[in-house]
Amino acid sequence: MPDQQSILVLHGPNLNLLGVREPQHYGADTLASINERLVALGQAHGIRVECFQSNREYELIERVHATLTDGTAWIVINPAAFTHTSVALRDAIAGVKKPFVEVHLSNVHAREAFRHHSYFSDLAAGVICGLGARGYEFALQHALAQLQTAS
Ligand code: DQA
């Protein structure tokens, strides 16, 4: 187990298309620019932030499993469409027992009915939706504050 604690930011399917994809819902920021800001915010607090995106459910599940041994203390996750479909990813995150914040760029409750249900929200420490890319920063700030309180 590494000495230093870290925070893992997980991005689900299609979030690699941020900047191009439906900007009316998801804004103009690219995933790379969002990740850069999150890593810098972590650095400013002396905490390593790792970002991982995949379009594949099993890769996200495997990455969640890896948190058991890689020093991850908190997870910030936007499961994207898997929010509404993936019992498997939910079970993975429940299985590793890491505290996490669920983030959505768009206000899923103001959109289609199928986006109103999340397989993650009842397990999450908190849920942020509708605040665009800044939602990730608010979620990370919460995780950083919790880590600093605990240490
Ligand atoms: C999303 C909302 C989901 O409903 C959608 O499938 C996404 C992105 C969001 O960030 O607003 O891919 O999680």
Cβ atoms of 49 and 90 closer than 8 Å:
no
Nearest to 12 by CA among 92, 72, 122, 70: 92
**Mind listing the pLDDT tens digit for each residue in 25-36?**
888 899 999 999
Tokens 């309180």 belong to residue: 149
Which of 106, 107, 131, 134 should be mutated for ligand 1, with most atoms under 8 A from CB?
106
Residues contacting 150, CB < 8 A, separation 6+: none
Pocket of ligand 1 (CB under 6 A): 14, 78, 80-81, 83, 104-106, 108, 115
**Mind listing the pLDDT tens digit for each residue in 4-46?**
899 999 999 999 999 998 888 888 899 999 999 999 999 999 9
Whether this prediction's pTM lies above 0.85 is answered by yes
61 to 66, 87, 88, 89: CA distances (angstroms): 9, 11, 8, 6
